[in-house]
Structure 1
Amino acid sequence: MDGGQLNVGGYTPFSATDYPGRLAAVVFVQGCAWRCGYCHNPELQARPRTSPLSWPRLLERLAARAGLLDAVVFSGGEPTTDPALPAAIGQVRALGFKVGLHTACIYPDRLKRVLPLLDWVGFDVKAPFEHYATVTGVPGSGRQAEECVRAILASGVSYECRTTAHSALLPPASLERLAATLAEMGVRNYVLQQFRATGCGDTALNCCAAPGYPDEVLAAGMAPLFPRFMLRQAY
């Protein structure tokens, strides 16, 4: 998990939404092993041998913004794919930034290594763990995700747990079962996100999505399970 330079596929110089309560820059790391149909960054799934963006040059841009931003968030793709992530986190922290991570909970061992380096984690839980492959397309992915979730909760790092709910992939019964499982595991901060067709490359999923799902009535039934709960609506 060390050595080399970060493989960067994109960069957002300013975001007020990717790290709650902080102004952040977002670095999009190239590469993801899963193939979720509703992925909004499918161009980041492949992992080219040469980084589309230069990490040293991007680091210079970040250094120039020290004092203007609070944090840098590593997103993707799946950031823990990259063996250079720990070193990149250290370089960003040396500039005085807080560090956030967006993860799909793919690689438990790699995630455990970087958790002590982080200030905040936003992590996705896509379905009941026994049915994960219906979303990711990868057998056994639910076991990986569950181990990652447990590691995050045990780490003490601040977090946001979130689920993107597509009506065809997570019908109400599955969504309610997932919420109950997460609450039993100790999740205290949960965000339920409505599926957004904008940016999704899977036309079949776009066509079959029920608008406004899950609605406020369904969400209200799950809200009491969590001290902090939000329904993030699609706009």
Structure 2
Amino acid sequence: MSHATRHLYPATNHSHKVALKVGGCAPFSATDYPGQLAAVIFVQGCPWRCGYCHNPHLQERSPNSAIDWTALLDFLNRRVGLLDAVVFSGGEPTLDPALGAAIRAVRRLGFKIGLHTAGTHPARLLEVLPWVDWIGLDIKAEFSHYDAITQRTNSAAAPLRSLQLLLNEDVLFECRSTLHPQLHSPASVQALGQHLHKLGVKRYAVQIFRTQGCSDDFLNKTGQALQAYPGEDVLQNLQGLFPHFEVRRS
């Protein structure tokens, strides 16, 4: 996962057909779209407040875009032939009503489109699916425990609906879960994997929490505890559930 680079392209007073609120851009990433070299666009705003958030400065949605969309599109145009894909991340990109127009504009340049989403807006996810080539869907926890992670009530319904949409559509996607030992016990990690397997998920990745960018001190676990977590037996059990399984550590 990439961190947002802010103020790469200062906002201007130009008027734009696309009003996507961009909070940052990573010009090059080899990890945000599997097997592809990509730029990552970070969209402002997220309805949730997960304590281990990787880009907490993007949670709020400011009145103006921090990065000029036209300048960013010009930059991507100069990268045609050098990059394979552009990934829309956040924040939560499906929060932005301009996401569909922005994706289509980038796709017209010839790039593959990746999308990182927590599934907070299933209707908009469905809207953009025809132009998206790969999706990384964040699954925070067992759906009965979502609110403890997101710090918002009734937060599980939307991502469950988004997952069901992806399972019924012809789009390549993976589910991924960021795990922290204070929030996800080994037993709960195992239960989550079994639930996703029963739903029909084929690609699953667990991402072990890392302290970089975290906004909450109580979550700053480091060293040997994280290296051993969530346990080799749990990881082996998960490996047996999914045709494609990956463990990602910092």
Does the 8 A contact of 2:18 with 2:102 survive in 1?
A: no
Give 2:249's aligned residue.
233
The reply on whether 1:185 has 2:199 as its aligned counterpart is: yes
Give 2:68's aligned residue.
54
Give 2:102's aligned residue.
88
Q: CA deviation at 1:216?
A: 2.7
Letter in structure 1 aligned against 2:78 = A
Give 2:14's aligned residue.
none
**Counterpart Cα distance in 2 of 1:222 and 1:70:** 31
For 1:101, what is the secondary structure of its paired residue?
strand
Does the 8 A contact of 2:18 with 2:69 survive in 1?
A: no
Unpaired stretches in structure 1, ≥5 consecutive residues: none
**Match runs of 1:192-211 below 5 Å:** 192-207=206-221, 210-211=225-226
Report the TM-score, using the length of structure 1 for normalisation: 0.95
Does the 8 A contact of 1:116 with 1:155 survive in 2?
A: no
Quick one: percent identity of the two aligned structures?
Answer: 53
Does the 8 A contact of 2:211 with 2:222 survive in 1?
A: no
Does the 8 A contact of 1:32 with 1:45 survive in 2?
A: yes
Does the 8 A contact of 2:117 with 2:138 survive in 1?
A: yes
The reply on whether 1:223 has 2:239 as its aligned counterpart is: yes
Does the 8 A contact of 1:168 with 1:208 survive in 2?
A: no
Does the 8 A contact of 2:202 with 2:244 survive in 1?
A: yes
Q: CA deviation at 1:215?
A: 3.1
**Match runs of 1:2-41 below 5 Å:** 4-41=18-55
The reply on whether 1:146 has 2:160 as its aligned counterpart is: yes
**Counterpart Cα distance in 2 of 1:68 and 1:207:** 38
Unpaired stretches in structure 2, ≥5 consecutive residues: 1-16
Give 1:68's aligned residue.
82
2:135 paired residue among 110, 121, 142 = 121
Q: CA deviation at 1:233?
A: 2.0
Q: Residue deviations 1:170-206, cap 9 Å, x none?
A: 1011111111110011100100111111221110111
Does the 8 A contact of 1:74 with 1:102 survive in 2?
A: yes
**Counterpart Cα distance in 2 of 1:93 and 1:4:** 14
For 2:94, what is the secondary structure of its paired residue?
helix
**Counterpart Cα distance in 1 of 2:222 and 2:132:** 38
Q: CA deviation at 1:65?
A: 0.6
Does the 8 A contact of 1:105 with 1:144 survive in 2?
A: yes
Q: CA deviation at 1:103?
A: 0.3
**Counterpart Cα distance in 1 of 2:185 and 2:26:** 33
Q: CA deviation at 1:208?
A: 8.6
Report the TM-score, using the length of structure 2 for normalisation: 0.90
Letter in structure 2 aligned against 1:100 = G
Q: Residue deviations 1:131-156, cap 9 Å, x none?
A: 10000011111111111111112112
**Counterpart Cα distance in 2 of 1:179 and 1:230:** 12
Q: CA deviation at 1:90?
A: 0.6
